Amino acid sequence: MIRKTVIITGGFSGIGKATAIKFAKNNYNIALTYHNTFDADFIQELKSYNVDVFALGCDQSKESDIINFVNSAFKEFEYVDSLVCSAGVAENEGLLTEKETEQIDNILNVNLRAVILFNREVLKHFMSQKHGNIINVSSIYGIYGGSLESTYAACKAGIIGLTKSLATEVAPFVRVNAVAPGCIETRMTENLSKETKLYVKNQTPLARIGTPDDIANTIYFLASDESSYITGETILVSGGAVRY
């Protein structure tokens, strides 16, 4: 029996890391991108589930890095089943009118352009093998907007549009879905003040901030056969929050 493989961008921290563990526990080989930080101990942790692990540095702002990673992953493993695009960077809060074009371009390149390119490159292989699953990580901001983080919100809304478009474009062979997390305990949110976290909790019916595992569980469901009749959807995982 051929073992499935999942490609996870940004797989060494936050949602990506939790997702890698979830898939490894379910007998998937793992292909991870990282940028700047390589964690050998985490690689060994994944291998402890008796799966093969491939990790390669990838600057998501560089098309050549993305193409090289995807081609290398498909050469490394016999059968790649899923792509999870979870890598991203936060945007410093501030009025759009006060932000430099360089700042805007960085957010766009990493949070939207790279997702489009990863989808494109992986789909070349998925369409050839006539099977595959793509799960793109958006955000609650992509649905409701994010005041003072307008470029980030625009990227996450773009991911939802990309997901809906591709779901029709590549059906019936490939399923494409998205997950829209609410406030999650990751490196992006660790600098939030106690007051802000309390406010978020008060705006969330389930009265807590989410964990990376909450998102990883949903991502795994969307990659599994249990969601075989789901495509083009964006699943909110926000504890019921409408907006913060």
- Is residue 190 included in any domain, yes or no? no
More confident residue, 79 or 242: 79
Among 35-39, 180-184, 224-228, the range scoring the smallest mean pLDDT is 35-39
Across the chain, mean pLDDT equals 94
Residue 2 has pLDDT above 90, yes or no: no
- Is residue 159 included in any domain, yes or no? yes
- pLDDT band for position 36 (cuts 50, 70, 90): confident
Percent of the chain with pLDDT over 90: 83
Contact (CB, 8 A) for 137 and 156: no
CA dist., res. 203 & res. 54, Å (int):
40
The packing angle between helices 150-169 and 101-108, to 10°, is 30
Can you give the CATH number for the domain in which 93 is found?
3.40.50.720
Active centre residues (catalytic): 152
- Is residue 114 included in any domain, yes or no? yes
- pLDDT band for position 211 (cuts 50, 70, 90): very high
Contact (CB, 8 A) for 30 and 53: yes
CA dist., res. 25 & res. 19, Å (int):
10
Contact (CB, 8 A) for 163 and 177: yes
What per-residue confidence (pLDDT) applies to 244? 53
- Is residue 60 included in any domain, yes or no? yes
Mean pLDDT score, 42-71: 97
- pLDDT band for position 194 (cuts 50, 70, 90): confident
Q: Would you call 224 helix, strand, or coil by DSSP?
A: coil
What is the token pair recorded at 242?
């409408």
Q: Would you call 80 helix, strand, or coil by DSSP?
A: strand
The residue segments making up the domain with residue 19 are 5-184+212-230
What per-residue confidence (pLDDT) applies to 198? 85
Residue 182 has pLDDT above 60, yes or no: yes
- Is residue 69 included in any domain, yes or no? yes
Mean pLDDT score, 9-14: 94
The number of CA neighbours under 13 Å toward the Cβ of 42 is 21
Strands 29-34 and 5-9: parallel
CA dist., res. 172 & res. 38, Å (int):
37
- Is residue 65 included in any domain, yes or no? yes
What per-residue confidence (pLDDT) applies to 243? 64
Our count of domains for the chain comes to 1
- Is residue 13 included in any domain, yes or no? yes
Residue 37 has pLDDT above 90, yes or no: no
Residue 196 has pLDDT above 90, yes or no: no
Q: What is the pTM of this model?
A: 0.94
- Secondary structure letter of residue 225 according to DSSP: G
pLDDT (tens digit, 9 = 90+) per residue, 76-134? 999 999 999 999 998 888 999 999 999 999 999 999 999 999 999 999 999 999 999 99
